[in-house]
Amino acid sequence: MSEPQFKITLAQLNPTVGDVPGNAAKARAAREKAQADGADLVVLPELFICGYPPEDLVQKPAFQAACRAAVEELARETAGGGPAMLIGTPWVDDGKLYNACALLDDGRITALRFKANLPNYGVFDEKRLFARGPAAGPVTVKGVRVGVPICEDIWLEESEEYENIVECLAETGAEILVVPNGSPYARDKNDLRLSVAVARVTESGLPLIYLNQIGGQDELVFDGASFALNADMSVAAQLPAFQESIATLTWTKSDAGWRCSGHVVPLPEGDKGDYAACVLGLRDYVRKNGFPGVLLGVSGGIDSALCAAIAVDALGADAVRGVMLPFRYTAQVSLDDAAKLAAALGIRYEVLPIADAVNGFEKILSVPFAGLPRDITEENLQARTRGTLLMAMSNKTGAMVVTTGNKSEMSVGYATLYGDMNGGFNPIKDIYKTEVFRLSSLRNSWKPDGALGPSGEVIPVNIITRPPTAELRENQTDQDSLPPYDVLDGILERLVEREEPLATIIAAGFDKDVVTRIDRLLNIAEYKRRQAAPGVKVTEKNFGRDRRYPITNRFRDNGKPLPKPDETLVTRAGKVSAEAFEG
């Protein structure tokens, strides 16, 4: 007698937030593929029908109704047999809104499971949007008991309010855990996801399927990289990262439980993962918002060169337009390198001198500036002129301006040149300058799967090796000159990502005056960063939705060792009286 089998199709797909009919069509096509593969169940990612994350859009009653109507229609389509469907959807029940998964089978919605543990950190804001779901047992599909913890339900944390959903499912007879996710990309996150999944498999003794969506949504990039683990913690399957994939896994049951042996695809890690995320993030921002293409200022420098390469890889050379906007300070080497870059990438390229425009602004301002000494204000006119011209070309052609400011310089307010700030989207917004150099060298020897640009050297080596030019920028004075980028990035990483006190950074070996100056620049540039275009997020903390510092803010770390708290001044209530007070 042959061993029982259970086939599950993983639909690692790219939804669009708000495109309920389009997302339903993707789900329908995935089910057709699953049916052709003889699958028993097809699984879609978290909140797939509405797109993830929907943010406050999910609170609109009309949107909730549209999502439910789409799920109901998909349910009716299962009446003729074929695989069941497990799909993520917002769901209103008894006046409360839940992050739910609906099981569709036999023409009905045969089960609903609600997310219990709602993330409320970093980019997640689910406690404000959704009600907390109850712990529930597995759902039954073709006689197999499937546990459905949703994303955060497997990320255990030590708190009284955390519900151990996996433990509940194991105790109530689950045979396989299927985890729908909307987990955004961050550098080296694959290892973290795997370690969390291994811990849940160890605790429950059950195989686990981790299904993640892919695609760009505003500043977030979802990398997919879905996988499955057997109960002995061996990798049963690994889907690719940064691309859609529909894979059917055949699980076979023995005395030891369900087991699968599927295809394992290697994943891009480190700098390769960051570059692939930048490509996908820009591609989806442009395509999902309906832009016909992009344009960017090409300065002959490394930031605009890397952005141009990313844009061509994302959209193809025909959809990218480069513009050199030289002024009297522009060196010939910059003109030469920009032309070589455009030729290597195969993009449309134009040189538009801006002297007449800048001189015109200066002439207009000569009256209000009469009697005032010439300073950096006049220097910045060239930057503002470039931004104005790029935005005019965008308005005329419909192409989106790609901004080119890196994280290092935007952190400290050094970002106005060549569309650093003006535009629609910045693919390197979360990339420090030292990584800009690494990614540029990397792209000359490698390109990600699915990239539309040419292979080989696309960024002239001279751009990578030539020292950055030192043109004055807005609010820059002589004492604000930056340290070498490796020093700057080392300080910023500790200030931004780790929130370390200045005293700790200085104790690590960084010069006190340099640390203090960088901290000052970081603080006074808060208003400029809020005006910057959105951009791809590749770290756990960036200058997008993660950093929420007030613009009006008088606090400054003085760099001295932190004072020790004086516990002798605090009168604490005894446990009995505290419990009585709390009721």
pLDDT mean over 446-465: 94
| DSSP, residue by residue, 430-465 | T--HHHHHHHHHHHTT---TT--SPSS--S-HHHHH
User: 578 in a domain, yes or no?
Assistant: no
Task: Find the helix or strand (DSSP H, E) in which 401 lies.
Answer: strand 400-401
Same domain, 238 and 303: no
Amino acid letter, 307 = C
**pLDDT at res. 38:** 95
Average pLDDT of the chain, as a whole number: 89
**pLDDT at res. 120:** 79
Amino acid letter, 387 = G
Per-residue pLDDT band for 14 (boundaries 50, 70, 90) equals: very high
| DSSP, residue by residue, 471-486 | ---TT--GGGPPPPHH
**pLDDT at res. 123:** 77
- Alpha-carbon gap, residue 532 to 530, rounded angstroms: 6
**pLDDT at res. 400:** 94
- Annotation marks residue 407 as catalytic: no
User: 414 in a domain, yes or no?
Assistant: yes
Q: Which of 228, 258, 288 is the last residue of a domain?
A: 258
> Phi-psi category of 454—alpha, beta or left, where left has phi over 0 and alpha has psi -120 to 50?
beta
- Alpha-carbon gap, residue 299 to 281, rounded angstroms: 23
pLDDT mean over 4-21: 95
Per-residue pLDDT band for 475 (boundaries 50, 70, 90) equals: very low
Same domain, 149 and 282: no
In the structure encoding, which two tokens stand for residue 385, read together? Answer: 């002129």
| Of 190-204, 255-269, 469-483, the least confident | 469-483
**pLDDT at res. 473:** 43
**Does 582 or 353 have the greater pLDDT score?**
353
Same domain, 252 and 281: no
Angstrom CA distances, 421 to 99, 310, 424, 552, stand at 36, 18, 9, 21
Q: What share of the chain is helix, strand, coil (3-state, %, to 5)?
A: 40, 20, 40
Same domain, 198 and 312: no
User: 266 in a domain, yes or no?
Assistant: no
User: 221 in a domain, yes or no?
Assistant: yes
The yes-or-no verdict on residue 266 having pLDDT over 60 is yes
What is the residue range of 303's domain?
Answer: 272-531
User: 36 in a domain, yes or no?
Assistant: yes
- Annotation marks residue 55 as catalytic: no
Same domain, 296 and 252: no
Same domain, 141 and 228: yes
Q: Which of 231, 258, 285 is the last residue of a domain?
A: 258
Amino acid letter, 368 = P
In the structure encoding, which two tokens stand for residue 337, read together? Answer: 């390198």
The yes-or-no verdict on residue 215 having pLDDT over 90 is yes
User: 434 in a domain, yes or no?
Assistant: yes
- Choose, from 50, 67, 101, 151, the residue flagged as catalytic: 151
- Residue 145, strand partner residues: 140
Same domain, 200 and 76: yes
Same domain, 79 and 213: yes
Task: Find the helix or strand (DSSP H, E) in which 84 lies.
Answer: strand 84-93
Where b means 16+ CB within 10 Å and e means fewer, 109-132 reads bbbbbbbbbbeeeebbbbeebbbb
**pLDDT at res. 472:** 36
**pLDDT at res. 583:** 53
pLDDT mean over 296-306: 93
**pLDDT at res. 468:** 65
The yes-or-no verdict on residue 149 having pLDDT over 70 is yes
Same domain, 365 and 509: yes
Per-residue pLDDT band for 479 (boundaries 50, 70, 90) equals: very low
In the structure encoding, which two tokens stand for residue 266, read together? Answer: 């290697």
- Choose, from 46, 152, 409, 435, the residue flagged as catalytic: 46
**pLDDT at res. 435:** 95
Same domain, 123 and 178: yes
- Alpha-carbon gap, residue 360 to 346, rounded angstroms: 34
pLDDT mean over 232-238: 94
Domain CATH number, residue 183:
3.60.110.10
Same domain, 307 and 422: yes
The yes-or-no verdict on residue 399 having pLDDT over 80 is yes
Per-residue pLDDT band for 478 (boundaries 50, 70, 90) equals: very low
- Residue 463, strand partner residues: none
pLDDT mean over 495-509: 92
∠ CA 48-51-52, nearest 5°, is: 100
**pLDDT at res. 119:** 83
Find, among 270, 282, 269, 292, the residue nearest to 217 by Cα. Answer: 282
Domain CATH number, residue 306:
3.40.50.620
- Choose, from 7, 115, 447, 537, the residue flagged as catalytic: 115
- Alpha-carbon gap, residue 126 to 58, rounded angstroms: 11
Same domain, 101 and 79: yes
pLDDT mean over 1-23: 91
Q: Which of 531, 556, 575 is the last residue of a domain?
A: 531
- Radius of gyration over alpha carbons of the chain, in Å? 27
pTM, two decimals, is: 0.91
Per-residue pLDDT band for 338 (boundaries 50, 70, 90) equals: very high
User: 297 in a domain, yes or no?
Assistant: yes
**pLDDT at res. 527:** 80
- Alpha-carbon gap, residue 343 to 349, rounded angstroms: 8
User: 369 in a domain, yes or no?
Assistant: yes
- Annotation marks residue 46 as catalytic: yes
Domain total of the chain? 2
- Alpha-carbon gap, residue 69 to 46, rounded angstroms: 17
- pLDDT for 508-533, tens place per residue? 999 999 999 999 999 888 888 888 88
> Phi-psi category of 55—alpha, beta or left, where left has phi over 0 and alpha has psi -120 to 50?
left
**pLDDT at res. 416:** 59
- pLDDT for 83-125, tens place per residue? 999 999 999 999 999 999 999 999 999 999 999 988 877 778 8
Amino acid letter, 191 = D
| Of 29-33, 176-180, 196-200, 261-265, the least confident | 261-265
- Alpha-carbon gap, residue 249 to 264, rounded angstroms: 12
**pLDDT at res. 497:** 87
The yes-or-no verdict on residue 419 having pLDDT over 50 is no
- pLDDT for 518-577, tens place per residue? 999 998 888 888 888 889 999 876 555 567 777 777 778 888 888 888 888 888 776 555
